[in-house]
């Protein structure tokens, strides 16, 4: 790449001689022109941005050293060559202090000047290459850090990290993770669907305003964000108090309320989880947000279908009181069921079940609400998708008002059955999972996926059940099991740390040592000498990731 050269000298003969005696282009240089003093040269430097500046020292108005001082301050990338008729040491020392590349005495031959220019040109090339390499390295490091940050947040939401592991990884990545309260939000934006015009017409504020709010919250450390897919963004919202967390979530809730309107067609879905204390709550809130997103999508689609159907029929005023139905689900009794249903469903008597889909969408909307409540409050049917398909099959068979009442009666009875079974339905399942962990904790590959396959359940459903029923994520319980077994081995054997690490499922002894210290507050050596077992305390520490001070207690108790 040709280097641009600008010449500054008050002697016109010198300027003309240098300009005319060097074959600039052939030597790989672009001669930009010349100036008679530093003051005249500055606007040219500003405009033309030379790579190399050749200047004399003794010049009127602004001399060469003054020019060098200004150029070094404003354009540090420009290389400077001084050609001077003054050989005094003070001039040379001053020039070198200003970062001048070369200080040469006049007269200088064209060949010598070309050699100087090539030397400076090679230095420019070398510095540019080093700069590009450094920028590339920094870019790769940033990408690596970004990917690691993404994995950290994703693993937290997926319940794949214990609190100590999460805290340690976050510290390594300089991620501000620690807080008292957490909640998860999932935003799914599908831009290929209806336009912003419809969005604004629905009375909703600009989505860009919401994005600006979210970005500010992320900048201030109130939220951590990562992309879960091409259309989905996940936000981990933090708060030092429950009130602060709710305040940060409030704009999400306002937007969610607007999106729940039946007429909303903006292509955005928003899932919100509730607030939870401690790091383990991130996973629980994320599961709630995913569930919220799932039901929002189903409900909105069903209501839009109902809106389309009623637009083309005369049945515009058929509305079921869903809140009354929900209240009856929660506090009603079987003795009043036979009287409540006909009264509640009286508005459906005008539905033509054979000629219109209106009745189907009305009953389906109510069914979605009931199954959603069951999932949220009593952990419902387990496989909500299969239950919905079963319910929808029954709705399709409804052909008259009496059959609609029979269906609603069945819906209520099924909810009550789920509620009755919810108290102990997962006891056997959790017992099997814990037995599986107890038998396989020493295998490094054991994971939620393997445990789910062992009990024939999806990993996501097992993760949700395990967290909700035990108050720990699967990985936290596994870590607790391994650390407690390591403590036993430290007290009952003389095995070395790396041997114990292997025996409890960790192939990396260094990682195991750091994790043990974070969980127990002691190194393995310290625990072997001074530690005592306290299973209850160990359980609390693994789950919560609390700091410890073994110097005070001398044990885990």
Residue 253 domain-assigned (yes or no): yes
239 and 204 housed in the same domain: yes
Residue for token digits 């073994």? 550
Segments forming the whole domain that contains residue 455:
427-553
Tokens for 431, please give them.
């017992």
Residue 372 is predicted with a pLDDT of 79
Outline where DSSP puts E strands in 36-172: 52-55, 79-84, 102-105
Distance of alpha carbon 261 from alpha carbon 523, whole angstroms:
57
Cβ-contact 514, 486 below 8 angstroms: no
293 and 400 housed in the same domain: no
More confident residue, 253 or 205: 253
Residue 158 is predicted with a pLDDT of 87
Which residues have CB under 8 Å from 416's CB, separation 6+?
Answer: 329, 334
* CB atoms inside a 10 Å sphere around CB 409: 16
Least reliable range by pLDDT among 131-140, 189-198, 431-440 = 189-198
In angstroms, the first-to-last Cα distance of the chain is 71
Residue 532 domain-assigned (yes or no): yes
Distance of alpha carbon 527 from alpha carbon 515, whole angstroms:
13
Cβ-contact 61, 38 below 8 angstroms: yes
Domain boundary among 281, 304, 327: 304
| Residue 108 burial by Cβ neighbours in a 10 Å radius (0-12, 13-18, 19+) | middle
- Summarize the confidence of residues 289-315 as an average pLDDT: 68
Residue 310 is predicted with a pLDDT of 59
Q: 181-189 and 232-239 as β-strands: parallel, antiparallel, unpaired?
A: antiparallel
Distance of alpha carbon 197 from alpha carbon 211, whole angstroms:
18
121 and 29 housed in the same domain: yes
User: Is pLDDT of 30 > 90?
Assistant: yes
User: Is pLDDT of 552 > 50?
Assistant: no
More confident residue, 325 or 299: 325
Residue 325 domain-assigned (yes or no): yes
Paired strand residues for 225? 235
Residue 150 domain-assigned (yes or no): no
More confident residue, 544 or 66: 66
What is the SS3 assignment for 7? Answer: strand
User: Is pLDDT of 66 > 80?
Assistant: yes
402 and 463 housed in the same domain: no
548 and 431 housed in the same domain: yes
187 and 116 housed in the same domain: no
Distance of alpha carbon 393 from alpha carbon 409, whole angstroms:
16
Residue 52 domain-assigned (yes or no): yes
Residue 140 domain-assigned (yes or no): no
Residue 142 domain-assigned (yes or no): no
Distance of alpha carbon 246 from alpha carbon 239, whole angstroms:
8
Residue 485 is predicted with a pLDDT of 93
Outline where DSSP puts E strands in 49-126: 52-55, 79-84, 102-105
Q: Which sign, positive or negative, has the C-alpha torsion 185, 186, 191, 194? A: negative
Residue 402 is predicted with a pLDDT of 92
pLDDT digits (tens, 9 = 90+) for 186-208: 988 766 444 444 444 344 455 55
- Confidence tier at 292 by pLDDT (50, 70, 90): confident
Mean pLDDT of the chain: 80
Angle at 277 between CA 178 and CA 257, to 5 degrees: 105
Tokens for 323, please give them.
């809140």
Residue 432 domain-assigned (yes or no): yes
User: What CATH number should be reported for the domain holding residue 538?
Assistant: 1.10.10.60
Number of domains observed in the structure of the chain: 4
pLDDT digits (tens, 9 = 90+) for 85-123: 765 556 666 766 667 777 788 788 888 899 999 999 999
* CB atoms inside a 10 Å sphere around CB 117: 22
pLDDT digits (tens, 9 = 90+) for 205-236: 555 566 666 777 666 768 898 888 888 889 99
436 and 509 housed in the same domain: yes
Which residues have CB under 8 Å from 26's CB, separation 6+?
Answer: none
45 and 119 housed in the same domain: yes
User: Is pLDDT of 436 > 90?
Assistant: yes
Outline where DSSP puts E strands in 248-403: 268-272, 276-277
Domain boundary among 82, 111, 129: 129
What is the SS3 assignment for 270? Answer: strand
Residue 189 is predicted with a pLDDT of 76
User: What CATH number should be reported for the domain holding residue 264?
Assistant: 3.30.70
326 and 297 housed in the same domain: no
Cβ-contact 94, 65 below 8 angstroms: yes
Domain boundary among 304, 321, 337: 304
pLDDT digits (tens, 9 = 90+) for 508-549: 889 899 889 888 888 999 898 876 654 434 443 444 443 333
Residue 309 is predicted with a pLDDT of 58
User: Is pLDDT of 483 > 90?
Assistant: yes
Tokens for 5, please give them.
């050269």
- pTM tops 0.85, yes or no: no
* CB atoms inside a 10 Å sphere around CB 386: 10
168 and 298 housed in the same domain: yes
289 and 162 housed in the same domain: yes
Residue 400 is predicted with a pLDDT of 92
437 and 522 housed in the same domain: yes
């Amino acid at each position: 790449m040709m280097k641009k050269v600008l010449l500054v000298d008050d002697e016109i003969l010198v300027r003309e001689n240098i300009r005319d005696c060097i074959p600039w282009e052939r030597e790989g240089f672009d001669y930009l022109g010349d100036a008679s003093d530093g003051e005249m040269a500055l606007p040219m430097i500003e405009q033309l941005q030379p790579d190399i500046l050749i200047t004399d020292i003794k010049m009127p108005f602004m001399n060469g050293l003054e020019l060098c001082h200004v150029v070094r301050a404003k354009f540090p990338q420009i290389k400077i060559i001084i050609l001077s008729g003054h050989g005094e040491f003070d001039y040379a020392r001053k020039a070198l202090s200003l970062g001048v590349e070369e200080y040469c005495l006049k007269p200088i031959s064209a060949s010598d000047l070309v050699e100087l220019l090539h030397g400076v040109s090679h230095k420019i090339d070398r510095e540019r290459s080093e700069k590009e390499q450094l920028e590339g390295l920094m870019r790769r490091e940033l990408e690596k850090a970004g990917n690691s940050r993404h994995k950290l947040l994703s693993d937290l939401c997926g319940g794949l990290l214990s609190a100590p592991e999460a805290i340690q990884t976050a510290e390594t990545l300089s991620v501000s993770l620690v807080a008292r309260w957490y909640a998860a939000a999932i935003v799914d934006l599908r831009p290929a669907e209806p336009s912003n015009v419809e969005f604004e017409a629905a009375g909703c504020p600009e989505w860009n305003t919401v994005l600006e709010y979210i970005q500010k919250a992320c900048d201030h450390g109130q939220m951590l964000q990562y992309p879960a897919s091409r259309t989905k963004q996940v936000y981990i919202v933090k708060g030092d108090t429950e009130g602060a967390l709710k305040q940060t979530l409030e704009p999400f809730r306002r937007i969610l309320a607007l999106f729940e309107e039946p007429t909303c067609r903006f292509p955005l879905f928003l899932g919100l989880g509730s607030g939870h204390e401690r790091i383990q709550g991130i996973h629980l809130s994320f599961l709630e947000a995913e569930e919220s997103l799932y039901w929002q999508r189903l409900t909105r689609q069903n209501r839009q279908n109902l809106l389309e159907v009623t637009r083309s029929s005369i049945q515009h005023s058929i509305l079921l009181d869903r809140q009354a139905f929900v209240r009856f689900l929660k506090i009603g009794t079987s003795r009043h069921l036979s009287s409540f249903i006909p009264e509640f469903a009286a508005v459906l008597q005008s539905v033509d079940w054979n000629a219109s889909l209106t009745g189907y969408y009305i009953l389906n909307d109510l069914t979605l609400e009931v199954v959603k409540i069951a999932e949220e409050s009593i952990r419902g049917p387990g496989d909500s998708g299969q239950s919905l398909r079963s319910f929808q099959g029954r709705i399709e068979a409804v052909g008259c008002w009496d059959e609609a009442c029979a269906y609603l009666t069945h819906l209520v009875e099924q909810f009550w059955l789920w509620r009755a079974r919810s108290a102990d339905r997962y006891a056997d399942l959790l017992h099997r999972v814990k037995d599986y962990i107890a038998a396989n904790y020493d295998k490094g590959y054991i994971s939620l996926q393997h445990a789910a396959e062992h009990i024939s359940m999806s990993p996501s459903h097992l993760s949700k059940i395990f967290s909700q029923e035990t108050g720990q994520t699967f990985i936290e319980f596994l870590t607790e099991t391994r650390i407690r077994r390591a403590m036993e081995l430290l007290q009952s054997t003389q095995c070395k740390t790396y041997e114990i690490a292997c025996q409890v499922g960790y192939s990396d002894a260094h990682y195991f040592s750091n994790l043990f210290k974070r969980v127990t507050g002691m190194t393995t050596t310290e625990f072997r000498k001074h530690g005592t077992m306290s299973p209850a305390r160990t359980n609390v520490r693994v789950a919560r990731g609390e700091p410890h001070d073994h110097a005070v207690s001398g044990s885990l108790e």
